[in-house]
Amino acid sequence: MMQTNMIPDNARTSSRNDAQSDRREAARNGLRLPYQERIRLKKLAQRAQKRSKRRRDISVATLNVGSMTGRSREVVDLIERKRINVLCVQETKWKGKEAKEIGQGYLLFYNGDGNRRNGIGILLDSRMKEGVFEVSRVSDQLIAVKVSKEGLIVNIVSAYAPQPGCEEEEKVEFWRQLGDPLSSVEEREELWLGGDLNGHVGSAEEVNGIHGYGERNDQGDQILSIAGMFGLVVADTYFSKPEAKKVTFSSGGRKSQIDYIMTRRRSLKTLRDCKGFPGEEVANQHRPVVCKIIIQADGTPKYNGMKKIKWWRLKKLLYKEEFVTKIKERISGKETTWEILSENMRSVATLVLGETSGKAPKAGKDTW
C-alpha cells in the first residue's frame, strides 16, 4: 500500500522560494531609487535652489496719495499687504527736503516747497533703503534715487506731471527737467519710473503695449515721446487686464488711466505683472499701480551690448547749443508729429552726441 506525505494545514511556503510573491517595499523618500536616479534628483533640487537664490522679485508701485498728512499708517498698511518694495508717491503736500521714517522700517525720501501744492516722494522698504547712495531732488514734482541692489545699480524716478489745465510753460519745464535724470542713467543700470503723468497713452503698438485704456491725447503724445527718446516702455500696457484693473483714476463717473510704471524696453523680459488695485481707500480718486519685476542676484550687472546715444553730453553747453540748432533746422517751417519729432531728435543726437561702443565696460571701472 502506497503511503502519501501528509502536509500539515498550518504549513507555509518559504518566501525565499516563492517566485510569484511581490517582495518589493514601497520607496520612502527616494531611498529605494537607483543610485544614479537619486543623484540626478539631488542635482535638480540643488539647481532649483540656486536659481531661487539668484532671482528676486521686486514690487514697484506708484500712487497719487492726495496728501501724506495723516495717511502714513494707511500707506504702510497698503505696502505691507501688497508686499511693495518701492512706492513712488505724488502730491505728498509735505514741505522740505528730507528723509523720514514712517513706521515699520519704511523710509520716505521727499521734496516739497513751502506752499504745499504738489510734493513728491519715493518710499523704500528696509531692504531697498540700505542700498541708497544718491538722491536727486529736482523739484516738487520730480525726485530720483540710486540704489545698489543685488549687484545692480537701480535708478528710481517718481514724477508728477502738470495737469492739462496748467500753463504751457509749466508743462514744457517739467518734461525738460524729466530728461535730466533719465539722460544721466548709464546703459548698464536699471531704470524704474513711476508717476501720475496726467496723460492717456492708449494702445500704440508701434511704441507701446496693446493693452492700454482709453484714447491717446496730447499729454499722452508727450509721454510716448519721452519713452521713445530714452528707450522706455509703459509696463501697464503690456498685460491684458479687466477694465477695473486698468483704470487708475476715477472721479464723478469719469475713468481714465494716467498713472504708469515705465522701464527700459530691454527689461521687458523681467516684468511679471502690472495692474491697478481698485477698492483701496488710501487715496480718494487714484488707485495704486503695482508692477512685479524679477532681478538677477548673481552680483554681476547685466550688459546687453547695444549701442546707445550719449545723452549725458547735453549737460555741456557746446553739445547742447549744437543739438538745439540742428533740431531747429530740421523742424523749422514743417508740420511735425511726436513720431517725427522723436525720430529727428534721435537722429540729431546720434550725429552730435555720438553713441557708446556697445562693448561691456572694463572690470573695476566706476561708472557713476
Joined together, the cell numbers standing for residue 213 give 485704456
Say if strands 106-112 and 120-124 run parallel, antiparallel, or are unpaired.
Answer: antiparallel
Joined together, the cell numbers standing for residue 19 give 517566485
Residues 79 and 126 grouped into a single domain: yes
Residues 226 and 338 grouped into a single domain: no
pLDDT tens-digit profile of 337-355? 766 777 778 888 888 888 8
Joined together, the cell numbers standing for residue 196 give 501720475
Q: According to the per-residue pLDDT averaged within each range, which of 236-250, 298-312, 330-344 is highest?
A: 236-250
Q: According to the per-residue pLDDT averaged within each range, which of 194-208, 241-255, 327-341 is highest?
A: 241-255
Residue 18 domain-assigned (yes or no): no
**Which of 57-61, 121-125, 299-303 shows the lowest mean pLDDT across its residues?**
299-303
**Residue 328 confidence (pLDDT):** 83
DSSP string across 230-278: HTEEEGGGGS---HHHH--EEETTEEE--EEEEEEGGGGGGEEEEEE-T
Say if strands 289-296 and 55-64 run parallel, antiparallel, or are unpaired.
Answer: antiparallel
Joined together, the cell numbers standing for residue 43 give 542635482
Residues 330 and 196 grouped into a single domain: no
C-alpha–C-alpha distance, residues 47 and 134, integer Å: 36
**Which of 150-154, 196-200, 303-307 shows the lowest mean pLDDT across its residues?**
303-307
Please check the confidence at residue 301 and state whether its pLDDT lies above 50.
no
**Residue 347 confidence (pLDDT):** 83
Residues 195 and 321 grouped into a single domain: no
**Which of 123-132, 141-150, 187-196, 342-351 shows the lowest mean pLDDT across its residues?**
342-351
Please check the confidence at residue 24 and state whether its pLDDT lies above 80.
no
C-alpha–C-alpha distance, residues 141 and 146, integer Å: 18
Residues 318 and 291 grouped into a single domain: no
More confident residue, 252 or 28: 252
Among candidate residues 296, 325, 341, the one where a domain is terminated = 296
**Which of 93-102, 136-145, 162-171, 296-305 shows the lowest mean pLDDT across its residues?**
296-305
Dihedral sign for Cα atoms in the order 267, 268, 270, 273: positive
Residue 70 domain-assigned (yes or no): yes
Residues 316 and 287 grouped into a single domain: no
CATH assignment of the domain containing 258: 3.60.10.10
Residue count (the chain): 368
DSSP string across 83-100: T-SEEEEE-----EEEEE
Among candidate residues 296, 331, 362, the one where a domain is terminated = 296
**Which of 11-25, 166-180, 217-231, 244-258 shows the lowest mean pLDDT across its residues?**
11-25
Residue 58 domain-assigned (yes or no): yes
Residue 34 domain-assigned (yes or no): no
**Residue 141 confidence (pLDDT):** 95
The predicted model gives 129-136 an average pLDDT of 92
CA separation, residue 304 to residues 80, 142, 315, 338, 352 (Å): 34, 28, 25, 28, 23
Please check the confidence at residue 234 and state whether its pLDDT lies above 60.
yes
The predicted model gives 197-221 an average pLDDT of 85
CB-based contact 95:112 (threshold 8 Å):
yes
Residue 8 domain-assigned (yes or no): no
**Residue 40 confidence (pLDDT):** 78
Residue 159 domain-assigned (yes or no): yes
Three-state SS at 184: coil
Count other Cβ atoms within 10 Å, centred on residue 143.
29
Residues 292 and 189 grouped into a single domain: yes
Q: What is the pTM of this model?
A: 0.69
**Residue 303 confidence (pLDDT):** 45
**Residue 27 confidence (pLDDT):** 47
Residues 286 and 142 grouped into a single domain: yes
**Which of 118-132, 275-289, 308-322 shows the lowest mean pLDDT across its residues?**
308-322
**Residue 34 confidence (pLDDT):** 72
Average pLDDT over the chain, rounded to an integer = 82
CB-based contact 239:273 (threshold 8 Å):
yes
Three-state SS at 183: helix
CB-based contact 144:178 (threshold 8 Å):
no
From the list 342, 345, 350, 258, the residue with the least C-alpha distance to 309 is: 350
Residues 121 and 178 grouped into a single domain: yes
Give the side-chain half-sphere CA count within 13 A for 141. 17
From the list 161, 175, 163, 255, the residue with the least C-alpha distance to 215 is: 255
Residues 193 and 330 grouped into a single domain: no
Residue 47 domain-assigned (yes or no): no
pLDDT band at 64 (very low <50, low <70, confident <90, very high): very high
Count other Cβ atoms within 10 Å, centred on residue 211.
16
DSSP string across 11-59: ----TTT-TTS--PPPP-TTTTS-HHHHHHHHHHHHHHHHHHHHEEEEE
Q: Which amino acid is at 176?
A: R
Three-state SS at 191: strand
Residues 169 and 208 grouped into a single domain: yes
Domain encompassing residue 106: 53-296
**Which of 114-118, 332-336, 361-365 shows the lowest mean pLDDT across its residues?**
361-365
Please check the confidence at residue 271 and state whether its pLDDT lies above 80.
yes
Please check the confidence at residue 16 and state whether its pLDDT lies above 60.
no
Please check the confidence at residue 263 and state whether its pLDDT lies above 80.
yes
Residue 302 domain-assigned (yes or no): no
Domain count of the chain? 2
Residues 338 and 284 grouped into a single domain: no
